[in-house]
Amino acid sequence: MNEAYLPLVMEEAGEVLQAIGKIQRFGVDNFWASEGCTNREALALEIGDLMEVIDRLGLPPEMIEAGRVRKRERLEKYAPEIWKP
């Protein structure tokens, strides 16, 4: 694992949280002239940034996929109202 990327993962995860907060506060399609995009677009870009630094950590892809499968199972069981395969 490339631990040098851990601070970047934390930073990008925080930026994803901030983008979600803006959506909750101002709405998903609110346009920010200073950013040149909507909150939806900003969230997508921040998730892309986060995914890139996660990939660079060098974690085993099969473990990441196992985590995704586990999350899908939990969503289906504990949050059926939002679960959409």
* Percent of the chain surpassing pLDDT 70: 99
**Predicted local distance difference test score (pLDDT) of residue 38:** 97
> Residues with Cβ < 8 Å from 75, sequence gap 6 or more?
82, 83
**Extents of the domains making up the chain:** 3-59
How far apart CA 10 and CA 14 sit, in angstroms, is: 6
Identify the H or E element spanning 29. none
Q: What does the pLDDT average to over 66-71?
A: 97
**Predicted local distance difference test score (pLDDT) of residue 34:** 84
* pTM greater than 0.85 (yes/no): yes
